Structure 1
Amino acid sequence: MARSKKPEVLDDDFVENIIDIDVEEEMRSAFLEYSYSVIYSRALPDARDGLKPVQRRILFSMDELGLMPTKNHVKSSRVVGEVMGKYHPHGDLAIYDTLVRMAQDFTMRLPLVDGHGNFGSLDQGPAASRYTEARLAPAALTLTESLDENTVDFVPNYDDSLQQPSVLPAAFPNLLVNGASGIAVGMATNMPPHNLGEVVQAAVHLIKNPDCSLDDLMRFIPGPDLPMGGRIVGLEGVRDAYLSGRGSFRTRATCSIENVTPRKKGIVVTELPYMVGPEKVIDRMRDLVSSKKLQGISDVKDLSDRHHGLRLVIELKNGFNPDAVLEQLYKLTPMEESFGINNVALVDGQPRTLGLKDLLRVYTDFRIDVVRRRTAYRLGKKEDRLHLVDGLLIAILDIDEVIQIIRSSDDSGIARERLMKVFDLSEAQASYILDLQLRRLTKFSRLELEKEAEELRKEIEKLRAILADVKLLHKVVCDELLAIAKEYGTPRRTVLLEASGETKTAKSATPLEIADDPCWVLLSSTGLVARTTNADPLGTDGNRRKHDAIVAAARTSARGEFGVVTSTGRLFRVSALELPHLVDTHEAPVLDGGAPLAAFVDLAPGEKVLTVTSLRADSPGLALGTAAGVVKRVNPDYANKPIMEVITLKADDVVVGAVELQTGTEELVFVTNEAQLLHFNADGVRPQGRTGGGVAGIKLGKGAHVIHFGSVSRDGVVVTGAGHPSSPDGEITSLKVAPFAEFPAKGRATAGVRAHRFLRGENHLTFAWVGSAPARAADATGKAITLPPADGKRDGSGDTAPGQIAAIGTTAPYTDVSADASASEVAEQTPVSAAEESAEGTLSLFDGDDA
């Protein structure tokens, strides 16, 4: 037991009074009172308007201050002071925090406050209230409209000096749209936001079909719609919450795997889970990387801004599988979070846990009552106005007598009684006539009054019909809801995934590190490079759009190296692991995104990339041809250097072609600008070391030079294009395609045979290509060009060119072999067959139609 003792006083009239009370009972009573105050007055939202008391008081105060969306912003501290002084007997920090949250578009799906200034972010708090400004958002007006039409009950404020609404009219289901969170005593609420359009459609459906099932409502509301988007994985918990009021779901960040640099892959995050900020994710990643619990990440950059939104770039180390790293991020970082749904709200002043149908039912019943009360209020106003107009019309019909009665009366009271008696008017009508201005006593005013009376009777009839017909009342509610959804609704931002949502570990799913599997390195005519493991690296499906042509391919492994040969006779070693990867499909490879080869090698001014080659020591090596007619076979004893010379060139000479020999028995081909073609067997050229200068390949006339060097088998084709002396460099005026078998072999260091007969005005070849069929041509942008049939004669003239060809590629030499296959094994394999050539039959090394 405890005693409560009043202070002693000196006055003898007062006697010391000690009351014995039970401590347990006192604590129970005080705790219950405190709990009730927290639950009812602070922490839990009302299921009707979806607002906590402080939120409701802020919106009501701003409405009273006239802070409309069309007016200027005012200091937030002014709003806080108004709310605290009149309605909310709590601290200013709590009021300002609530005001800030109602203005944050990443917290609320439909913000209710239009903030100006620094209202914070997911990682940082807002500026002080003296630095920010606020006004009502347009959507907030739909919550406070018709407050003056007896739509809701008003209650006294904390000191009984003012009246405040017990609930706002709420023209849309705010509790579902914006969600709620709060912690009371012994209970809490946590409700996710939803899409306005979906919620309104469900509410309308419930009004029209009161006995509908939860599945019917979920056809309109399949799941939450979070302000920052993201992905919800697994909807089982969502349905549980919609059924019982309790459940959970997991949200994931929205990510894509991109080439953040030509040499590196990265994970780009554009949307994070609800209420997760980028700094939180970055800090967690850095902790995991430093503790070696997360592998494969080299750097994290936050490139977010106000104009482009969130952009978090996670750079990956070469050799790690992006999909596996992403799985680790989902498992170990806040890029995947769980949201627990607990739909606790006040219904008739009592906290209840509500499912989706119950939430909608409470709101729709409330909104129907609001519209009924508003209609009754408007009906009363219209009837009162019609009563006055009818009295005024009676007076105007005999206005002279009305004036005489007023003039002959001693005071207004006597005049009112005489008017009521003579014209059979009510007291309200008589008073209104006494207040009438003389300028209203015109003929035109009488016509206006008669028109007004007619319109009032029509409006009264409509309002009475709404009150008399429940279906008509429901139609008004539904029409208003649909109008608000049309005006303020936005498309869904959150993607819903039906999967179970279990995060796979890297160990049980995708391997973390990229395996050292055999692969192909492909070079396109526009200088893009990629690697693929597809059996047909060049794609022979024949159903592709206009795309770049593949001009070279080299076999290696994913963690191996390949060579890049340039026009200056240099060979660069490049890691295949750094290249973009073509994804295997059943039809043909689809590239994630090609990269310019120039990003991997440092070229000198004027230096050009000719081909890519494997660096296998057991291969027949490289064959090079120069503009001066020199040919060289390079021994495959490449030094372990990043850059090396593979031929010693004479002054002003350049390499015009380089090919990787597959068997060592291919036919090497020279084509000159004078239309001379010479081919001979590669066996006739003795291999040399890297410093060798080569041997004579083709005999050139005065002023002649080689424009093409390559290798071919007997089923190849020869493509030549001639030009006029006055034509721009590289322009083709006539094009000829002939079978390679038409051209007889000649000895090395001879002049060869004529490959193209010039038409009038033509005097040189501007383009030539010799290779295995089928040939695929592309222009400078990578667009495919259809070549004519290979039926031209060896020394025949060409036909009109179908387009300006920049490069030609082939599929035949490249077959699906492992990186360690021997030359004899390669020779025994059958070339890949190609589909019928068309303008769409080339492969893309980039996203889009153009390079």
Structure 2
Amino acid sequence: VITRRTKFDLDKAEKRAHILKGYQIALTNIDRIIELIRASSDGTVAREQLIEKYGFSDIQARSILDMKLQRLTGLEREKIDLEYQEIEKLIVELKEILEDEAKVYEIMKKELLDIKEKYSDERRTTIEEERMEILPEDLIKDEEIIITYTNKGYIKRIEANKYKAQRRGGKGVSGLNTIEDDFAEKIISASTLDTMMIFTDKGKVYNIKAYEIPDLSKQSRGRLIGNIINISEGEKVRDTIVIKEFNPEKEIVFITKNGLIKKTSLGEFKNINSSGLISIKLKEDDDIIYSGLIEEVEKEEILIATKKGYCTRFSADIIRATGRNTMGVKAITLRDDDEVVSAMLIKNPETDIFTITENGYGKRTRLDEYPQYNRGGKGVKNIKCTEKTGNVVSVLEALDDEELICITSNGVVIRMSMDAISRFGRATQGVRVMKVAEEEKVASITKIKKEEEIDEE
């Protein structure tokens, strides 16, 4: 650095000395030079005459022609002589530095001591023996997101605050553009740093970090899930669990369309490879309807809801945990032309049960109105299903400090405060929660914590 800097300064000094030498010669012969310039037809001719008669270089001749008249004063001439003398001394000094390596090291020592004097304070950086690895998660902002996917496998995520709250009974806003014969099937809330366990109709499970799902606009259809995880052709997503870590003390519970239930330790899913793992053994006519994470098995209960408006409730600890490649046991005895459409884990004994139907009718019902049974019973009436309300779509826990997000088959999304939805008894049809078009149905619901301020439109 010192050598290159010195060479640069030397080159600059020599160029300046060259111009100053030209000034000195010009000032010594100033009368004849002025006469020469006056006699020239233009600047080019004057420059050529100066070069020819006085031996100036091109740059000296140009500098003389550009010189201001004030340089002709005695004081200005003294300044030029003084500057030339100083430049000559500097050139000698710079050449000595370049010719003597010892001088370079003297400069280096002096400058380093100056730096030490100026910046000598206690070390601010902590030196540790352990080398910390920077993971992708360290660079991701932890924020609440909404994930949607369609029947044909298009998935996307969007920040939860992009959906503003509305009053009950609103029409909602467009949440995605679906293609022909496709429809929105599921909506879930998560955090960007969560791990998503994705369960399919083949009884397999895959996992992906939530931030790896494409972050797209509200109107975007999404990306094919087959381009994100190694899902096989024709395989469809059925449900998703959001987890922070694979704690073996927690359990996953599965509910199937035909009313079977199974529990498996979360620890058995720790090493999910890119081709997935078997999570449950399914019969040909059966399918996964619900998967949930049991965190405290002695305190949690399971509620299972059917298409025709019936449900059953029982304790989670009456089901024995089994391995991944098992089928499970009967959870509910289904009536004719009925099937399981939704289920939930009851984690808060003070909660309400929120139920919504295809045509946007829903209600909250106090938990204590649902009697506890052993598994395998037919259950009790959960909601009155009519032609106006349509069949049941989903159930979930409902607390006043939460907000409900619904998505329709056409991708229209509505977000509203849970405390805006009235409480009714079990055998009632509820109120209109969301207006849906004639050929449209409510597809899925989820919930998030309520924001402090809500924009009502």
TM-score where L is the length of structure 1: 0.31
Task: Report what 1:778 is aligned to.
Answer: 406
Q: Deviation per CA, 1:443-479: give whole Å up to 9, x if none.
A: xxxxxxxxxxxxxxxxxxxxxxxxxxxxxxxxxxxxx
Q: Say which of 188, 194, 197 aligns to 1:551.
A: 188
Describe the shift of the 1:834–1:747 C-alpha distance in structure 2 as closer, same or farther (beyond 3 A): farther
Q: Deviation per CA, 1:35-63: give whole Å up to 9, x if none.
A: 9649999xxxxxxxxxxxxxxxxxxxxxx
Task: Report what 1:621 is aligned to.
Answer: 251
1:647 shift after superposition:
0.3
Name the CA distance, whole Å, in 2 between partners of 1:691 and 1:747.
25
Q: Confirm or deny: 8 A CA contact 2:137 2:193 kept in the other structure.
A: no
1:521 shift after superposition:
8.1
Name the CA distance, whole Å, in 2 between partners of 1:697 and 1:39.
108
Describe the shift of the 1:835–1:700 C-alpha distance in structure 2 as closer, same or farther (beyond 3 A): farther
Q: Deviation per CA, 1:497-523: give whole Å up to 9, x if none.
A: xxxxxxxxxx9xxx9955655957855
Task: Report what 1:806 is aligned to.
Answer: 443
Q: Which has the higher contact order (CA 8 A, sep 6+)?
A: 2
SS of match in other structure, 1:748: coil
Name the CA distance, whole Å, in 1 between partners of 2:251 and 2:282.
18
Name the CA distance, whole Å, in 2 between partners of 1:719 and 1:38.
97
Task: Report what 1:768 is aligned to.
Answer: 394
Name the CA distance, whole Å, in 2 between partners of 1:734 and 1:515.
43
Describe the shift of the 1:836–1:597 C-alpha distance in structure 2 as closer, same or farther (beyond 3 A): farther
Name the CA distance, whole Å, in 2 between partners of 1:661 and 1:38.
96
SS of match in other structure, 1:770: strand
Describe the shift of the 1:772–1:791 C-alpha distance in structure 2 as closer, same or farther (beyond 3 A): closer
Task: Report what 1:524 is aligned to.
Answer: 147
Name the CA distance, whole Å, in 2 between partners of 1:703 and 1:619.
38
Task: Report what 1:718 is aligned to.
Answer: 353
Q: Deviation per CA, 1:556-591: give whole Å up to 9, x if none.
A: 67xxx5422234322112245635689xxxxxxx99
Describe the shift of the 1:556–1:640 C-alpha distance in structure 2 as closer, same or farther (beyond 3 A): same
Q: Deviation per CA, 1:517-546: give whole Å up to 9, x if none.
A: 595785523465559xxxxx9669977995
Q: Confirm or deny: 8 A CA contact 1:626 1:653 kept in the other structure.
A: yes
TM-score where L is the length of structure 2: 0.54
Give the residue type in structure 2 aligned to 1:628: N
Name the CA distance, whole Å, in 2 between partners of 1:38 and 1:720.
98
Q: Say which of 410, 414, 429 aligns to 1:797.
A: 429
1:673 aligns with 2:302: no
Task: Report what 1:607 is aligned to.
Answer: 236
Please list, as runs of the form range in 1=range in 2, the aligned pairs for 1:25-424 lying within 5 A after superposition.
37=44, 186=59
Name the CA distance, whole Å, in 2 between partners of 1:778 and 1:39.
87
Q: Which protein shows a greater Rg?
A: 1
Segments of 5+ residues of structure 2 without an aligned counterpart are 1-24, 26-32, 49-56, 69-124, 126-131, 167-171, 176-185, 437-441
Task: Report what 2:260 is aligned to.
Answer: 630
Give the residue type in structure 1 aligned to 2:353: V
Q: Confirm or deny: 8 A CA contact 1:739 1:790 kept in the other structure.
A: no
Name the CA distance, whole Å, in 2 between partners of 1:661 and 1:679.
15
Task: Report what 1:565 is aligned to.
Answer: 199
Q: Confirm or deny: 8 A CA contact 2:202 2:235 kept in the other structure.
A: no
Please list, as runs of the form range in 1=range in 2, the aligned pairs for 1:466-477 lying within 5 A after superposition.
none
Name the CA distance, whole Å, in 1 between partners of 2:303 and 2:255.
9
Q: Say which of 290, 295, 301 aligns to 1:657.
A: 290
Segments of 5+ residues of structure 1 without an aligned counterpart are 1-24, 42-183, 188-345, 353-506, 532-536, 583-589, 723-729, 813-832, 841-851
Give the residue type in structure 1 aligned to 2:306: T
Q: Deviation per CA, 1:259-293: give whole Å up to 9, x if none.
A: xxxxxxxxxxxxxxxxxxxxxxxxxxxxxxxxxxx
Describe the shift of the 1:634–1:720 C-alpha distance in structure 2 as closer, same or farther (beyond 3 A): same
SS of match in other structure, 2:291: strand
Q: Confirm or deny: 8 A CA contact 2:394 2:444 kept in the other structure.
A: no
Describe the shift of the 1:37–1:634 C-alpha distance in structure 2 as closer, same or farther (beyond 3 A): farther
1:695 shift after superposition:
1.3
1:793 shift after superposition:
1.3
Give the residue type in structure 1 aligned to 2:363: K
Aligned-CA RMSD value: 4.8
Q: Confirm or deny: 8 A CA contact 1:680 1:745 kept in the other structure.
A: yes
1:640 shift after superposition:
3.9
1:749 aligns with 2:379: no
SS of match in other structure, 2:391: strand
Name the CA distance, whole Å, in 1 between partners of 2:365 and 2:46.
90
SS of match in other structure, 1:525: strand
SS of match in other structure, 2:317: helix
1:716 shift after superposition:
3.3
Name the CA distance, whole Å, in 2 between partners of 1:555 and 1:679.
32
Describe the shift of the 1:763–1:581 C-alpha distance in structure 2 as closer, same or farther (beyond 3 A): closer
- Pairs aligned (count): 308
Q: Confirm or deny: 8 A CA contact 2:198 2:206 kept in the other structure.
A: yes
Give the residue type in structure 2 aligned to 1:673: K
Q: Say which of 326, 332, 341 aligns to 1:692.
A: 326
Name the CA distance, whole Å, in 2 between partners of 1:711 and 1:516.
29
Task: Report what 1:318 is aligned to.
Answer: none
Task: Report what 1:390 is aligned to.
Answer: none
Describe the shift of the 1:550–1:716 C-alpha distance in structure 2 as closer, same or farther (beyond 3 A): farther
Describe the shift of the 1:738–1:802 C-alpha distance in structure 2 as closer, same or farther (beyond 3 A): same
1:680 shift after superposition:
1.6
Q: Deviation per CA, 1:162-204: give whole Å up to 9, x if none.
A: xxxxxxxxxxxxxxxxxxxxxx9649xxxxxxxxxxxxxxxxx
1:757 shift after superposition:
2.0
Name the CA distance, whole Å, in 2 between partners of 1:749 and 1:40.
109
1:690 shift after superposition:
0.7
Name the CA distance, whole Å, in 2 between partners of 1:784 and 1:40.
82
Q: Confirm or deny: 8 A CA contact 1:716 1:770 kept in the other structure.
A: no
Describe the shift of the 1:554–1:751 C-alpha distance in structure 2 as closer, same or farther (beyond 3 A): farther
Name the CA distance, whole Å, in 1 between partners of 2:191 and 2:254.
16
1:720 shift after superposition:
3.3
1:667 shift after superposition:
2.0
Give the residue type in structure 2 aligned to 1:779: I
